[in-house]
A and B are shown apart, each in its own frame.
Chain A
Amino acid sequence: MNSISIILAGFMSPIDIPTSPASMLWMFPLILSIAIVYKATKLRVIFPKIFIKEVVVLFLTISIFLILAGVGLNILVAFITS
């Protein structure tokens, strides 16, 4: 089997993602994609340094707010169910 077949075979069966807190880490690559594409469409001119800085700031902003939302919801659930 050549290398291309092996790569294509990776798309024919799902990977294993258990239901665990660690599975939440899958949100970060998606947030990075959102930050990159949003800034690529938003900035008037793409200067590499400014672009990277803007992407990092947006990535951190979204990440922090999502983490805070998760913590807040967990506290709320714990409060309701206790």
Chain B
Amino acid sequence: MAKRSDMDHGLLLLIVAILAWIVPGGGHFFIKEKKRAAIIFVTITLTFAVGLYIGSVGVIDPPGAWPWYIGQMLTTPGVSLLANIKQMDPNGEMVGIVSYGNPHDYGQIYTAIAGALNLLAILSAVYMAHSGRGEMIGSEEDE
């Protein structure tokens, strides 16, 4: 296998990082760490979904709780779409979904922790791509 140039290597790491951010586990899948990718995808997606189920979509509140929103955005950029979901109030006007109290707090914690875990997964995927571990283990698994 030809040795990659520094630029190619940097581009590979960037692609792995972006894929890992867009879809949890996507970076590991790209470097052929399929088992790891599946575990990360299922766990982070479930954690985020449980957070939304507990506190509703109202836990994603960029203007009201932007530090939490940063954590939530680490899960996937698709979170920004959820922040724009609105529902019709009794007056027929479209308003943002809100939640309060314990469910709101628990939902925020779950969704932000899902983001923090995805940050860990992004760093892991980039490190594995940098060290060539993913390709090595992936080629062994494929044989």
- A-side residues, CB < 8 A to B, are 10-19, 23, 26, 29-30, 33-34, 36-38, 40-41, 44-46, 51
Contact = CB atoms under 8 A, between A and B. Distances in A.
A15 B104 CA distance: 9
5 contacts: A14-B56, A17-B103, A30-B113, A40-B39, A51-B39
Contact of B120 (A11, A18, A38, A46): A38
Nearest to A41: B124
Interface residues of B, number: 37
A11 B19 CA distance: 26
A27 to B, nearest CB: 9
B68 interface: no
A32 to B, nearest CB: 8
Given A14-B54, A37-B120, A46-B39, A30 B47 contact: yes
Contacts of A23: 102, 106
Contact of B113 (A18, A34, A44): A34
Interface in B94-115: 97, 99-104, 106-107, 109-110, 113-114
Nearest to B122: A41
Contacts of B133: 44
| Interface residue SS majority, chain B | helix
Contacts of B101: 14, 17
Contacts of A44: 133
Interface string B55-76: 1111000000000000000000
Contacts of A46: 35-36, 39
A33 B117 contact: yes
A15 B47 contact: no
Contact of B117 (A13, A18, A26, A34): A34
A13 B53 CA distance: 8
A15 to B, nearest CB: 6
A15 B35 contact: no
